[in-house]
Structure formats: C-alpha cells, structure tokens
A and B are shown apart, each in its own frame.
Chain A
Amino acid sequence: MMVRRPALEVIDYIRQTNFDQLAIKYVIYGRKGSGKTMTLNHIIHHCQAAGWLIVHIPTANGLNLKNKYDFIDSVSHEGMYDQPTSSTDWLKQFKLRNERFLKELKTTEKYVWNKRESTEKDQPLLSVLEQGLTRPKNATDVIGVLLKELQLQSYNKQFKMLYAIKAVNGLFAEETAFRKHGGYIIPVRELTLHMHFRNFLEGDWINGSIVTTVDYNLSYRQPKFYYTPFYLLGKKGFDHMDPFIPVFVDEYSDKEFESQIAYYQSKHWIQDEEANTEAGKLYLKKLSDMNPAELDKLVSWI
C-alpha cells in the first residue's frame, strides 16, 4: 500500500504539533479523483493507531442529500430541525470507534431529555450515547451534548482527539434536498446536526487536530467548476475555517505511477498481456492523465 506525500506531510505536521495550543485546521484539496479521501483515511489510520479519539464525518455533503424525509421539529431549538436517522447512524459508528473513551469520560452536568428521562452528573458519556440510540428523537441533541463535553474535557488532557471531515463544504452549503409538505425547502442553517458540527469546527479546544477535505462530489445545487477551498467553502465558510493550512493533493508523479502499476500487477489485477508491456503502460498513463481514480477505472476491466 502506497502512502503518498500529502498524507505524510500532514502526519509529520501532527507529530510536531504543540498540543497546548488550540487545534490546528488542515484543509486537503485537489482535483476530482486525485486521492483526497485516501489521504484523509491514511491520516485517520495513523491517529487511530496512536490511540486517539476520532470524531469522523464520512461525507458532510451527503448529509444534505441522503435520508431526505428524515427531519422533525427540533426538541431543543425552536424553528430548527433534527435528523433522527442520520444522527443515529452517526452515533453508531462513533460508538464503534471510541467505546473505551466513552466509558472513561464522565458528564460534567445533568442533562434532562424529557419529563421522565435524564442523565445525572458524573455518569459515563456512553450512557448519554445510549439515550440517543434508544430514543432517536433525542439523537441530534445527544450529538450536541457529546461534542460539547469533548470540547470542555479536552482541556483536562486525558485524551487526544482528531476531528476528520470529508467534504466540509457541505456544512456551509445553502440548500438541502429536504422539502417540507408545503414546498418549503429547509436550508442548511436550520438543521441542528450541521450546527453542532459547525460549532465543534470552530476549534476552541486543545490537544488535537482538525483535518478536513473540500470536495464537490455529492454536493447539492452547489457550483462544481473548481476545486479550491475558497471557491467551495464560500466567503462565510472560509471565514469560519480561517486560519487553516491548505494541503494540495496532486495527480501521480512518474514514480508513484510506476509503483501503483506494480501494486496492481502484484495483485494479479492487470490481466491483458499488452497492458503489461511498456507500450501498454504508456497508453494507460496517457489515457488516465495520471489521475488515480481514472487509472483505477481503466484498470478495473482489462
């Protein structure tokens, strides 16, 4: 498996970070299919192996698009909307990743969910999470509580934390695919789930890092012409994210291309005799324009 230069660069930065300061933001950007998500995955893997707590949004763009009948009037915030299904899905993967931290960490105050149910002070955070899984109506509020607790308790320096988001521009988008009965399209600013994630992205916590990508894949009614952070995040999102370290993911270099082809060949993935010759390699190189996703698409069926 090849770990490419942008991933190594960010991992190197993370190793040399002074964790007494506020969390540093990284924005990974690049052309379509150039390996932004793979870079992010390598960084997540590095942090997971180092025993970090991982807060991961698999695709923020997809939150505006998928489960489009999944919204209810918000329990805690008037005039806003909760997303029970998306929230419970997110809580499940969060629990799977970080169960050992959630058992150790305790709540700092009492949370009242409704007339009968509440979580006392000094209970493990896992009991808060279980509330979200058993009562999907509270799931979005549970995410808000969890993120708030993590933010407060990061100052105790008990754990290190990685906040990883794919396609962070989805949190700063305008429109969603959620349409109410009368024809009203719910904007992103009225969704509590996005609000909680945006607030956590402000980065007023320490002992961790924020690694994000910007991506126009799966974005809903957003411009899809260019790939740079300012263009995709917009003025509002850029100001929210500022300051950050941009990391550019380029297409394969000659050496990377060779090593990727060698990897495919070692896995018996390129079967055509002519494709394995020098002329065939040159053909693949020219046709894919050294783009990793295009190369994968070409190689998949020969």
Chain B
Amino acid sequence: MSTSLLKCMVVFWCISRVTQVRHSRYPPTFVEPVVKKESFETELPFDVSTPVKAAPLWRTSSFTYDPLILKFINIIQKKGEKDLASYLMRKTFEQIKLRQVEKVNTAPPGDLPEIELNPKKIFHEAIENSKPLLGLQNVERGGRTYQVPTPLKESRRRFLAMKWLIEAANNKEPVIPFYQKLADELMDAYQNTGAVVKRKNDLHKQCEANRAYAHFRWW
C-alpha cells in the first residue's frame, strides 16, 4: 500500500462503534471516521484492515466546526434556505459579542467584573439552561386523555430548548431583526432568566402537578 493512501486512512481512524443499526448503508464492521490533524502523529500505527465510513461533507477539522451550532442552524432553517439560516446565526453571534464587548469597554477602569465574551460559550450555556428535565406524554385511558410526566431523551431535551428559543424570538416585535431578538433570548437564557427559562419551569410545575398519573407510564 502506498504511503499517501496510508495517510488518508489515518485521517479516518476509528474511535467508536456504529450507533445507527437499521437503514445504515454501512455494514456493522465499519467504524466512524475521526477528523483530526494530530492523529497523524499520535495514533500511529493502526490496523489498516479496519473499514472506515466516509466523513460527512460538513465535518471539518477547523475551530469553526461545532455540531450544536449546525443543529441550531438546521432548526432555524425554513424551505431549505440554509444560507439565510447560517447568516442569521452568524449575525446573532456578532450581536452577542458586540453587547459583551461594549460592557467591557464602558466599564470604569480598575474593577472589571467577570464578563464572558466568547459568544460560542454563551450559546452553549444558554442551551444548557433552557433544556427541560421532564416532559408530558398524552396517554388515553378509559376514554380520557391523561398528561403523564416522563423523562426525556437527550436529543428531545436539546430540540425543545432550541425550539423554545426560536419561538420566543419570533413572538417579539416584528419590526426588530430576528438576529437581535434571538440574541436577546440567548443572553436572557444565559443569565437563567427570560421567557424560555420560565417556560421550562412551567413545564416542570405541570409535571409536578400531574404526579398522580405517573403510574400510567408503561414505557
């Protein structure tokens, strides 16, 4: 085997087992690729006979790659306009950074309070604060529908947090640009206040009130 092909294989070096079982286009022997420049030096030698999946088109080794941001862009997106969705996301981050940098620049010299300037960190923290722990599931028993409190999967919690943030931004005044409203919501959620955190707490209260129906849960 030539050295260039060997190097290509090194890039797609395996890390974990396959997660998707049904409808996968790869047999279970195939492993996930890893896109890391350091693997050239650290993870050699390796078993060349291991079959590796093709890397997804959007996966890069750069610092701009963030799966959570890509997921959020996909949820903002309407009618396949991904360019517009990514533009809105970039503008939102710019807004957040502008506001935080302004706080630093206008603060009196000397005692500078701890201000988080990195918009990516603020975004992650805001999503984490907006995630609900419990949800409600409709169950029909004896002709009546009961709302049964249930723990949620991680993907569902993430989706709800993102959906609530976008809905809260859309419910604000229509004249203000969307990215400004979304930046407002993200900043509020980062400080554990605002409409989204209230909605999360309301859902938790509802779950607490429906505790009596918990025995309907069969899953």
Same complex: yes
- B101–A302 touching, CB < 8 Å: no
- Residue B101 contacts which of A269, A272, A274, A283 (CB distance < 8 angstroms)? A269
Residues 99-114 of chain B, each 1 if its beta carbon lies under 8 Å from chain A, else 0:
0010010000000000
Residue of A at shortest CB range from B116?
A271
- Given contact pairs A301-B97, A302-B64, A271 touches B117 in the complex (Cβ within 8 A): yes
**Chain B residues with CB below 8 A from A105, complex form:** none
- Residue A283 contacts which of B63, B93, B97, B119 (CB distance < 8 angstroms)? B63
- Given contact pairs A268-B104, A269-B101, A302 touches B63 in the complex (Cβ within 8 A): yes
Residues 276-290 of chain A, each 1 if its beta carbon lies under 8 Å from chain B, else 0:
000010010000000
A54: interface (CB < 8 Å): no
B145: interface (CB < 8 Å): no
A272–B121 Cα distance when bound, in Å, is 9
B208: interface (CB < 8 Å): no
B198: interface (CB < 8 Å): no
A300–B63 Cα distance when bound, in Å, is 14
A267: interface (CB < 8 Å): yes
Interface residues on A, range: 10 to 19
- A283–B62 touching, CB < 8 Å: yes
A169 to chain B, nearest CB (A): 28
Query: Interface majority SS on B: helix, strand, loop or mixed?
Result: helix
A275: interface (CB < 8 Å): yes
Interface residues on B, range: 10 to 19
B120: interface (CB < 8 Å): yes
A33 to chain B, nearest CB (A): 16
Query: Interface majority SS on A: helix, strand, loop or mixed?
Result: loop
**Chain B residues with CB below 8 A from A300, complex form:** 90, 93-94, 97
- A272–B118 touching, CB < 8 Å: yes
- Residue B90 contacts which of A271, A274, A280, A301 (CB distance < 8 angstroms)? A301
Residue of B at shortest CB range from A277?
B63
**Chain A residues with CB below 8 A from B104, complex form:** 268
Residue of B at shortest CB range from A283?
B62
Residues 228-266 of chain A, each 1 if its beta carbon lies under 8 Å from chain B, else 0:
000000000000000000000000000000000000000
- Given contact pairs A283-B63, A300-B90, A267 touches B101 in the complex (Cβ within 8 A): yes
- Residue B94 contacts which of A267, A268, A283, A301 (CB distance < 8 angstroms)? A301
- A268–B63 touching, CB < 8 Å: no
Q: What 10 pairs between A and B have smallest CB-CB spacing? A: A274-B63, A301-B93, A271-B118, A301-B90, A300-B94, A271-B117, A268-B101, A301-B94, A272-B63, A283-B62
Residues in B lying within 8 Å of A, measured CB to CB = 62-64, 89-91, 93-94, 97, 101, 104, 117-120
A-B contacts, 29 of them at CB < 8 A, read A267-B101, A268-B104, A268-B117, A269-B97, A269-B101, A271-B117, A271-B119, A271-B120, A272-B63, A272-B118, A272-B120, A274-B63, A275-B63, A280-B63, A283-B63, A297-B90, A300-B93, A300-B97, A301-B89, A301-B90, A301-B91, A301-B93, A301-B94, A301-B97, A301-B119, A302-B63, A302-B64, A302-B93, A302-B120
